[in-house]
Amino acid sequence: MEYFAGDYDVAVIGAGHAGCEAALATSRMGFKTLLFSISLEAIANMPCNPNIGGTSKGHLVREIDALRRRNGEEY
């Protein structure tokens, strides 16, 4: 059996926190990007406490700023 899914420049394996960032970065650089995940429900799961007021506040806020405020108003 043969299956052709298309041509891609970058394939990111794993759609967790880091995988989503990698896919976003490569797509912004102009690469045709493919993101793989085992489960649609698990996409962008973060391993730490991701709320803005929690223990990971400083780290998360810097990441959001680096991603050009992807969680709010500016896309």
Token representation of residue 4: 């052709």
- For 1-16, how does the pLDDT look when each residue is reduced to its tens digit (9 = 90+)? 888 888 999 999 988 8
- For 13-59, how does the pLDDT look when each residue is reduced to its tens digit (9 = 90+)? 988 878 888 998 999 999 999 999 988 887 877 655 555 555 555 56
Task: Give the burial string for 51-62 (b: 16+ CB within 10 Å, else e).
Answer: eeeeebeeebee
- H/E stretch holding 62 reads helix 57-66
Strands 10-13 and 33-36: parallel
Residue 75: band (very low, low, confident or very high) from pLDDT cuts 50, 70, 90 = very low
Place of tokens 């990441």: 63
pLDDT at position 57? 56
Task: Say how many Å lie between the first and final Cα of the chain, rounded.
Answer: 40
